[in-house]
Structure 1
Amino acid sequence: MGMSRRTFLASLSATTLALSVSSCSSDDGGGSKIRFGYIADYNGASLLAIADDQGLWKKHGLSASYKTFVNGPIQIQALGSGDLDYGYIGPGALWLPASGKARVVAIDTLTYADRVIAKPGIKSLAGLKGKKVGVPEGTSGEMILQLALREAGMTMDDIKKVAMDAPTVVSAFSAGQIDGAGINYPLIDTIKQKVPDLVELASTKDTGGSFPTAFVTGGKAGPSEAKVVKVLQEANDWRAAHPEESVKLTAALLKVPEDKVAADAAHVKTLTTAELVARTKDGTVAGWLDDMTDFFVSTGQLKKAPAATSFYAGDVYTKAAA
């Protein structure tokens, strides 16, 4: 059963780490205070680290406080309850904005970090039949697992799915309590410290698809939205021009070693703001989002695929860059 590019275009998500939940504030430049959520990896944290270091919030008359989350769906809940103004999600959580729970204000990166892994000795997806597989639900881990099972002619019914958050997947796999997992780098690097000979059974790298990560706000325009998008765009271009320094700044924000962040960044494709504007205007970004919403319809997470323009504020993004 070959997998079409369209079918495969929706794996990822905000699985990811944040083994501790922490907050920090940018130096207060007065102005509107923006409460921003993120996931503690290069995709989720690098632009926020850069915005602080380069004084971009202050430059645009804003100040910001940051809070880590273990995944995207929890951030979208926080947006809905008014506890957060903006957040970050991976591709696997894009079904939530597509269902009207949030708006995408900017595409961040393309990411290829998700895998189905198994304990040593299991050599194929078929080897997971009847076995315990840990997965954070509604995230990229679940997406790559569903896609890989489909490619192997299997379904979720063929395995024993164990729903757990990403940090629990790390500890359970490391302790041998589960046989496999749908999970992402950099968490897999952490697991490899305990299980160096784990097996990678499936990878988003092999799909030929494009997997966008994104910044989101609530269902309506967030506070100071045009200014926030401008901050993200300027940080994005600084990251594209300074990849090594971006790794250093992200490592400092996350309080993890630089080599770990560099390994994580190796699974990420960054695009300049000009590239993202061009791909918004020519429909490329809408195509990425359409491919994913079609997939989410196939999994039952969406009843029907909405137009990408209904949840991606591409006009706001394009105007902010002008």
Structure 2
Amino acid sequence: MRSSTIRRALAAASTVSMLALSVSACSEDTANDSTVDFGYIGDYNGVSLLAIAKKLGLWKEVGLTAKVKAFNDGPIQVQALRAGNLDFGYIGPGAMWLPASGKAKVVAVNTLAYADRVIAQPGITSMKDLKGKKVGVPEGTSGDMALNLALEKAGMTAKDVQKVPMAPATIVSAFSSGRIDGAGIWYPLIDTIKAKVPDLEEVASTRETDSSFPTAFVAGNKVKPELTSKVIKVLQKANDWRARHPREAITESARMLELDESKVKADAANVETLPTADLVAKTKDGTVDKWLNVLGDFFVRNGQLESAPDPSSYYTGDLYTKAYAK
């Protein structure tokens, strides 16, 4: 499930760009781990907590400086984590197979996202109508997940369509010019496409399922637990501020993305936020594991995983709950 950028073709679903949060480290112990490189996707899910952390000076409180960098999608961030070019990043539900396969650690659940759709050119009104047609998708992302879920629900497989791997920004231009018949993609990029193809069809949506689609923050496998705990504290405090101040969270996100607030507000409408106490409770009672297991089973069915691992092997729920208790 779910990228100024975007998933923001609006201002940047193109290349990786860099932004530096103007946060200074002011810890008495800055010898080690005083700076974190943090990736994000340029949408409300991806930037809201980082924007809030900057506004409230939360990095300074834990003695850290954060350097943030925009990416087009989650899989590219996981590659950067593995190469040592990032310490932390943000992924949507469709990229959760990567930490599940051991390539990163989930350190915090962010939101539940329902922004993913399968869209089609005017006149194509169902998944069956897409049979044999070209469907663009950013592989390994929530757009890919939305397409595979929709195919499964329609009794179809990936062999029933001409699946064309494409970067998110390429999908925007390819669909708008009619070079592809459909796409597995997400809002707010769909709003960008609608500006050029206003009568496009939404033939499938993750909102139509009974599943929950968690977005998450991830860390590289070599990141120290002590540093991870500090970062989790920042994310938890920012998360609770977002829950208490939803309008202000949109304002801060729009400022960071350099977008009109109305666009970010529309994006946020596809997001369910949960207070940290709720996420801690859901970690303890196994709800988060259930969400991850449902995704794991789906990834197995689609050949992205050989078997669904125990979420405890890649979700650091113990660190998440301990950080909240302190």
**TM-score normalised by the shorter chain: which range applies?**
over 0.9
**Equivalent in 312, 317, 324 of residue 321 of structure 1:** 324
TM-score normalized by structure 1? 0.94
Alpha-carbon distance in structure 2 between the residues aligned to 1:187 and 1:99: 28
Whole-angstrom distance in 2 between the partners of 1:26 and 1:198: 38
Aligned residue type for 1:273? T
What are the ranges of 5 or more consecutive residues in structure 2 without an aligned counterpart? Answer: none
Shift of residue 19, structure 1, vs aligned partner: 2.0
Describe the superposition over 1:142-173 as per-residue Cα deviations: whole angstroms up to 9, x where unpaired: 11111111111111111111110111111111
Please give the TM-score of this superposition, normalised by the length of structure 2: 0.93
User: Paired residue for 1:298?
Assistant: 301
Q: Verify the 8 A CA contact 1:103 1:220 in the aligned structure 2.
A: no
| Aligned position for 1:239 | 242
Output the CA distance in 1 between the equivalents of 2:287 and 2:223. Answer: 23
Q: How many residues align?
A: 311
Aligned pairs (5 A) from 1:226-265: 226-265=229-268
Query: Structure 2 CA distance, aligned partners of 1:314 and 1:225?
Result: 12
Name the residue aligned to 1:112: 114
Q: Distance in 2 between matches of 1:108 and 1:305?
A: 22
SS at structure 1 position matched to 2:99: helix
1:13–1:94: 8 Å Cα contact kept in structure 2?
A: no
3-state SS, counterpart of residue 224 of structure 1: helix
- Alpha-carbon distance between aligned partners in 1 of 2:7 and 2:313, rounded to the nearest angstrom: 27
CA distance in 1, matches of 2:122, 2:234: 45
- Kept in 2, the 8 Å contact 1:95–1:301? The answer is yes
Please give the alpha-carbon distance, in whole angstroms, between the structure 2 residues aligned to 1:130 and 1:203. Answer: 20
For residue 256 of structure 1, report the CA deviation from its aligned partner.
1.1
Instruction: Give the Cα separation in 2 of the matches to 1:42 and 1:181.
Output: 21
Structure 1: 5+ residue stretches without partners: 1-11
Which structure exhibits the higher relative contact order, with contacts defined as CA atoms closer than 8 Å and separated by 6 or more residues? Answer: 1
User: In the alignment, what sits opposite 1:180?
Assistant: 182
Could you say what the CA RMSD is over the residues aligned between the two structures, in angstroms? 1.2
Q: 1:49: Cα distance to partner? A: 0.4
Aligned residue number for residue 123 of structure 1: 125
Question: Which deviations, in whole Å up to 9, do the C-alpha atoms of 1:2-32 show, x marking residues without a partner?
Answer: xxxxxxxxxx147933424322222242240
Residues 22-37 of structure 1 aligned to structure 2 (within 5 Å)? 22-30=17-25, 31=30, 32-37=34-39
Tell me by how many angstroms 1:243 deviates.
Answer: 0.5
Counterpart position of 1:39: 41
After TM superposition, the structure 1 = structure 2 runs for residues 76-115 of structure 1, keeping only pairs within 5 Å, are 76-115=78-117
* Structure 1 counterpart of 2:52: 50
> Which of structure 1's runs of 4+ aligned residues deviate more than 3 A?
220-223
The answer to whether the Cα contact below 8 Å between 1:112 and 1:267 also exists between their aligned partners in 2 is yes
> What is the aligned partner in structure 2 of residue 281 from structure 1?
284
Q: Does residue 1:62 correspond to 2:64, yes or no?
A: yes
Q: Note the C-alpha offset of 1:79.
A: 0.5
Counterpart among 138, 141, 157 of residue 139 in structure 1: 141
Say whether 1:271 aligns with 2:262: no
